[in-house]
């Protein structure tokens, strides 16, 4: 029994359904490929007593060698190490196992790779993208037949409970690809789609119980492969949300762990202190650092011991597997700061060595730009044995700044000036353009509520999101003014209106939205589609000017002569902006067109900007 897990929960759960009286229950990875850059693969073989015997290739398989095998503390496991030479061909690798009740044979599949040379796969995520974050369970129910899956621990669906399953699935997302394209979205980020077979509150996806299986309430593995393929055909990329730090306690790897040191152990349940500063604090106590990195995220989330090389390899292989299997385009890495330092570097290197085009960004819900930059590729030397190779991060610092900028009066460093000072710290990153910028997500209060349901401030936030540096991410429903706060009832994760048959309103259609919702949708759509067709907002340089009198002005420009000027008046009154101080960016331009309204401005010497308004101006010569 894992010492960190609550005893009552373990006693109540039945034995893993996968455990049979005899025979091999499963092998992870479930299959592999010939022609991978790294020729080594480690099979985790699971079955009653399988570790008491040995494994062998039955006969011969040209180009494949069983190099070694390792017994684990739990006799129900055996590690088998294979080397697959570049000359090996796809086929069924015949394996024989002598452990367990009897001699067993297994045909392990080696597949031909599909990602090399196929430009529709592993396209990556970049600044030209507009990412749409959604929760599959809460977006749309496309297949009611998978709402209830026999044998799973969470009973049915209950849409009147924010912590129960609601029935959304992959088919529901796919049914609304057209809606997303109309909005201007180019990439879809669902919260984790792998199996979360926990008794309750597992709808979010962050407590995996099977790393190699799509949650059957979302669809099948084949459904997910088709989902990615169909998204690509529609010009949409797919970001796969991954969790490296922990997994659900109902998973077979927890309930019948390969060894005690696969998970961090405590005499009694111990939760992380969630203090990321302990990761690199030069004065930190060993106790605080241990609790941060080895404490459990929650009672049903077992903390993985990634310093164990077997655990590290298992995780690395799994996330290589998902890319090759589906051709997905990017990884968003959950709870990145909590993982073992060496593992993070090994994981990132292994993934990017195999898939250099893969987009990757990490959750860094931390305080301070220095701390955030520490977890991205940065200009710092190695600190305490860690040098991040994560290309980009979710830019929480800018999220804090834009929220303050629109809810607090300007001061020397407060209000809109907070945005300026946060942008100024971009010097710490190797490339700040790789960061993902956002207004809200599934863990924080919705942006429309944060700005007091003030539509003018809302539009300012959207204008900033789609014109600032980096890759923008929108949380589902923000475009139709979904609201609410993160505490105490979780209503920031409400169902998208219209995603279920019989919903009173269908916000996927113009007729199903009210006047203000349509105005919000049109604002987002018009600016997102403008951004999509104007590379200056993807790759253009960024220059800003110190805010003056509550007004923040910045420019996106390139060598092709394109310039977009953004003027943000975060004040309660209209402000007249004299543009002479911006001469180094405006020289040679005689007029402008406001992107959203289409209004032409022929006098650029002086701009009178209404209260709480952002103008996005395309400058013209």
* 536 secondary structure, DSSP code: H
Q: How far is residue 20's CA from residue 76's CA, in Å, rounded to a whole number?
A: 11
Catalytic positions are 334, 363
* Total number of residues shown for the chain: 621
Q: How far is residue 74's CA from residue 51's CA, in Å, rounded to a whole number?
A: 8
Q: How far is residue 333's CA from residue 88's CA, in Å, rounded to a whole number?
A: 33
Answer whether 170's CB lies under 8 Å from 219's CB: yes
Q: How far is residue 378's CA from residue 137's CA, in Å, rounded to a whole number?
A: 36
Neighbouring CB atoms inside 10 A of 21's CB total 7
3-state SS, one letter per residue, for 313-326? HHHHHHHHHHHHHH
Answer whether 595's CB lies under 8 Å from 617's CB: yes
Burial class (CB in 10 A: 0-12, 13-18, 19+), 603: exposed
> For residue 448, what are the β-bridge partners?
none
Q: How far is residue 566's CA from residue 492's CA, in Å, rounded to a whole number?
A: 30
Structure tokens belonging to residue 574? 């209209």
Neighbouring CB atoms inside 10 A of 59's CB total 7
Spatial neighbors of 25 by CB under 8 A, at least 6 apart, are 18, 19, 46, 47, 48, 252
Answer whether 345's CB lies under 8 Å from 389's CB: yes
Spatial neighbors of 318 by CB under 8 A, at least 6 apart, are 28, 29, 211, 212
Structure tokens belonging to residue 428? 């710490």
Q: Pairing state of beta strands 591-594 and 575-578?
A: unpaired
């Amino acid at each position: 029994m894992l010492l960190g897990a609550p005893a009552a929960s373990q006693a109540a759960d039945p034995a893993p359904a996968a455990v049979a009286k005899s025979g091999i229950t499963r092998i992870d990875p479930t299959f592999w490929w010939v022609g991978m850059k790294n020729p080594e693969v480690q099979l985790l073989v699971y079955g009653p007593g399988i570790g008491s015997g040995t494994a062998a290739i039955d006969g011969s398989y040209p180009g494949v060698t069983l190099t070694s095998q390792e017994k684990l503390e739990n006799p129900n496991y055996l590690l088998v190490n294979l080397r697959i030479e570049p000359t090996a061909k796809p086929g069924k690798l015949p394996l024989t196992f002598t452990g367990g009740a009897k001699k067993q044979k297994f045909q392990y599949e080696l597949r031909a790779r599909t990602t090399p040379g196929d430009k529709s796969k592993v396209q990556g995520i970049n600044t030209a993208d507009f990412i749409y974050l959604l929760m599959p369970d809460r977006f749309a129910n496309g297949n009611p037949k998978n709402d209830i899956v026999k044998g799973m621990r969470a009973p049915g669906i209950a849409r009147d409970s924010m912590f129960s399953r609601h029935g959304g699935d992959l088919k529901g997302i796919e049914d609304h690809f057209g809606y997303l394209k109309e909005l201007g979205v180019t990439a879809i980020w669902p919260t984790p789609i792998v199996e979360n077979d926990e008794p309750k509150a597992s709808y979010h996806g962050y407590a995996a119980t099977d790393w190699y299986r799509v949650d059957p309430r979302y669809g099948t593995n084949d459904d997910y492969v088709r989902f990615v393929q169909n998204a690509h055909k529609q010009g949409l990329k797919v970001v796969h949300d991954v969790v490296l730090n922990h997994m659900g306690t109902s998973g077979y790897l927890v309930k019948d762990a390969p060894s005690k040191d696969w998970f961090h152990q405590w005499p009694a349940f111990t939760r992380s202190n969630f203090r990321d500063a302990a990761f690199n604090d030069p004065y930190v106590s060993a106790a605080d650092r241990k609790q941060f990195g080895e404490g459990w995220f929650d009672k049903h989330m077992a903390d993985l011991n990634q310093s164990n090389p077997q655990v590290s390899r298992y995780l690395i292989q799994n996330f290589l597997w998902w890319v090759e299997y589906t051709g997905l385009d990017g990884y968003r890495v959950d709870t990145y700061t909590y993982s073992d330092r060496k593992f993070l570097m090994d994981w990132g290197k292994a993934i990017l060595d195999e898939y250099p085009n893969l987009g990757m960004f990490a959750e860094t819900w931390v305080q301070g730009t220095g701390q955030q930059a520490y977890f991205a590729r940065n200009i710092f030397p190695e600190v305490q044995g860690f040098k991040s190779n994560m290309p980009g991060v979710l830019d929480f610092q800018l999220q804090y700044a834009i929220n303050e900028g629109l809810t607090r009066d300007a001061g020397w460093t407060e209000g809109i000036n907070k945005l300026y000072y946060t942008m100024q710290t971009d010097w710490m990153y190797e490339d700040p353009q790789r960061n993902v910028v956002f207004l809200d997500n599934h863990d924080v209060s919705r942006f429309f509520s944060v700005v007091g349901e003030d539509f003018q401030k809302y539009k300012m936030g959207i204008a900033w999101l789609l014109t600032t540096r980096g890759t923008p991410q929108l949380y589902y429903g923000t475009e139709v003014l979904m609201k609410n706060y993160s505490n105490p009832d979780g209503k920031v994760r409400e169902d998208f209106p219209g995603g279920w048959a019989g919903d009173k309103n269908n916000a996927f259609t113009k007729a199903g939205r009210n006047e203000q919702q349509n105005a919000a949708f049109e604002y987002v759509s018009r600016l997102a589609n403008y951004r999509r067709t104007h590379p200056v907002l993807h790759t253009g340089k960024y220059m800003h000017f110190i805010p003056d009198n509550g007004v923040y002005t910045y420019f996106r420009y390139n060598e092709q002569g394109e310039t977009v000027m953004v003027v943000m008046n975060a004040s309660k009154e209209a402000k007249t902006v004299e543009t002479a101080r911006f001469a180094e960016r405006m020289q040679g331009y005689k007029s402008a067109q406001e992107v959203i309204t289409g209004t032409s401005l022929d006098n650029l010497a002086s701009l009178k900007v209404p209260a709480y308004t952002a103008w996005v101006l395309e400058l013209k010569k």
